[in-house]
Amino acid sequence: THSTRPQRLLSAVQKNATRGDPSSVVKAIDQFCRQKEWAMNVGDEKGCILDLVVSEVNPTFVLELGTYCGYSTVRIARLLPPHAKVITLEFNPDFAAIAHQVIAWAGLEDKVHLIVGASGDWIPKMKEQFGLNSFDLVFLDHWKDRYLPDTKLMEECGLLRQGSILLADNVICPGAPDYLDYVRRSSQYESQYFKSHLEYTKVEDGLEKSIFLG
Ligand SMILES: C[C@H](C[C@H]1O[C@@H](n2cnc3c(N)ncnc32)[C@H](O)[C@@H]1O)NC(=O)c1cc(-c2ccc(F)cc2)cc(O)c1O
Ligand SMILES: [Mg+2]
């Protein structure tokens, strides 16, 4: 009976992190990924940029596309004010099950709503399901060829308001060229590139922060 990498990542959290201490969960995952096995978390270097943007936006409603093991969910939720929420979508049920336990270990269940499903199916249902008008911050970290269609879908569904922030991971590696082109050319967005590195490596990658101008 062989474990999966997400299962081994969760074990490392349960072994090395303190229950209810989100920062120790973040640290335990980064240590596991640096010392034991690479995993596709946003990581510590890009994670600091994510922290800066979250702190600056101070969002009430966050949408995360692509939960994976919940690393960035924990990074985001640990910085939110009391009644703020992260809604995070993950379509792989095995990854979602691990993420649920990582988020619980961090003690952040009350700030996080994890949905097992595909962004394309769920974005149109967000308003009715959660009684919200728009997202203050969207963290795009799912299939890179879904960044652009899902951004257009969020626009069409009226989920972005003047000042909503899109923050996209991996715009260089693996890359989201059509998305980058769109947000950088469109007069509806003010875009900024934060140069960094692919998690736990020296390969170039970066985050693109785009403000929806409405
Ligand atoms: C896509 C994955 C992240 C997760 O997203 C879920 N997902 C997908 N599409 C949907 C949807 N439409 N709705 C909901 N969830 C969805 C999935 O199941 C994964 O768990 N992320 C990556 O593939 C990823 C890959 C790399 C990477 C870089 C260099 C390499 F040599 C190899 C890999 C780095 C990163 O930083 C990533 O983020
Ligand atoms: Mg990523």
Which strands form 61-65's sheet, in the order they lie side by side?
112-116, 85-90, 61-65, 135-140, 160-168, 204-212, 189-197
Cα(68) to centroid(ligand 1), Å: 7
65 close to 119: Cβ distance less than 8 angstroms: yes
- Distance between Cα 21 and ligand 2 center (Å): 23
**CA gap 212, 89 in Å, rounded:** 21
Q: Is the ipTM of this complex over 0.90?
A: yes
Report pLDDT for 1: 77
At 117, list the tokens.
């499903």
Q: What is the pLDDT of residues 104-149, one digit of tens each?
A: 999 999 999 999 999 999 999 999 999 999 999 999 999 999 999 9
Q: How many CA atoms lie within 13 A of 160 on its CB side?
A: 23
Of all ligands present, the nearest one to the C-alpha of 99 is 1
Query: In the predicted model, is pLDDT for residue 193 greater than 80?
Result: yes
Residue 59 has pLDDT above 90, yes or no: yes
Atom index in ligand 1 nearest the CA of residue 43 equals 36
Of 132, 156, 139, which Cα lies nearest the Cα of 62? Answer: 139
- Residue 156 annotated as catalytic: no
> pTM score > 0.90 for this model?
yes
Question: Which candidate in 30, 44, 64, 170 is catalytic?
Answer: 170
Closest CA to 83 of 107, 59, 105: 59
Tokens found for residue 179: 């998305």
Q: Which ligand is in closest contact with the Cα of 94?
A: 1
The rounded distance, in Å, linking the Cα atoms of 119 and 153 is 10
CB atoms inside a 10 Å sphere around CB 123: 21
44, 199, 205, 208: the catalytic one is: 199
- Mean local confidence (pLDDT), 58-79: 99
